[in-house]
Amino acid sequence: MMLVLVMSWAMVVNIAKLARDRIMMQNAADNAALSAAVFRARTMNLIGEANYLMSVTLASGAFPCLVPVPLCNIDYVGGSARNIPFPFSDVNCHGGVGEYSVEYGGVNRLRYTVNMLARFQQLLVLNYIPGTIRIAHEIGRRQEINAAGVPSGADEVVVIPGELASSIVGQISGGGAHLALAESIGNLSPEKLLGIERITKKISYYKTINLGTTIFEHYHAVIPQKWRQDDVAWYKTRDTFFQQKLVAIAVKRSASPSNAGYPWFGRMFNATSWPTMVTVAAAAIYNTGTEMFPTTDQEYTGIPEELIAPAVIETAVQLGSMYRLAQTVNMIPGVGQVLGMSITAATTAVAAIAAIALEKAINDENTPVKKYERARYCGWDAHLVPVGEASLQH
């Protein structure tokens, strides 16, 4: 009778240990998946904000075509116009009878700012994989603390893209978590894991040639000079961005220190070792506004609302100066009328180009500025989602 009671008590203890470990391990997988998704969401929010700052910086640059024209287009980026509140101006008017200068200090500062923002994004991207691994492992370990105050939860937790999970779960449960992870994602870049990529279009930067003359009053014109071209621009989403989720796989091995001594009276039950336990969970990021990133390659940056008025005013003032120059030149005997008509035609063409570019920058919904302005008050967040694979159910 006593033996039966002892065996029954041992069975109760063993079953309780199994149930407790199962609950703890599922919590480990759930919390690891959610924490990894939160880390991804925060990374995406920072990359999106850097996208916006880069685009606003580029939008502040003006193409020097007779007048500084804010085209908000990375194919034509020069120094900003003088009335745009950024330290990137290359318009340098000294007055006098005649002047000539080639300026690129402003556009160089603009380019440096863009490249620093791109470098900041690169650091965020490079930190994504090691940061996710570290967070998932720590979260899994800390699901249980033993009497000595040492974390004794999951022995290992890995977080991988959902489409890779079913192919490596067997290797993970068998003890090769990091090896399986390395083999599975070794050919995937951090950008691909995040679901983003840089646009393929290049940024073309221009110097500003300043020309000035005085005919009754002083007039100033600018001419572009191609300076350099950079490959680095903002990020866009990949086609598979919204199909991605993160799957966390938590493992507690048979030989884990917290399993020492179990199962109780195992030899009586013909059970000499404790089973390895594997649990899975999945999480994904979402944005209740919009996706924050452009979805296609394009050259237009968009323009923030606070820059629209200064851009329109500056362009109108500069174009008005060119029309006055045309009227003044038209009064010169001989070739004055022909030159005046030429200046008028060129100024009208520039005005039309500026109007089209500004309309595109304001109304295009797929520019990085517009995408971020619609999404920034919501931002990326994370939630648990169904795992979805038959072999990886909870």
Report pLDDT digits (tens) over 208-229.
998 888 777 778 888 999 999 9
Q: For residue 345, what are its two tokens?
A: 């035609």
Separation CA 170–CA 350 (nearest Å)? 65
Average pLDDT over residues 241-261: 80
Report pLDDT digits (tens) over 256-275.
877 776 665 655 666 667 78
Share of the chain above pLDDT 70, in %: 83
Find the domain containing 274 and state its range. Answer: 2-392
Separation CA 23–CA 389 (nearest Å)? 21
pLDDT at 108: 94
Least reliable range by pLDDT among 1-5, 140-144, 184-188, 279-283:
184-188
Average pLDDT over residues 39-48: 93
Q: For residue 136, what are its two tokens?
A: 């998932």
Whether residue 106 is predicted with pLDDT greater than 70 in this model: the reply is: yes
Residue scoring higher pLDDT (260 or 38): 38
pLDDT at 224: 92
The structural domain count of the chain equals 1
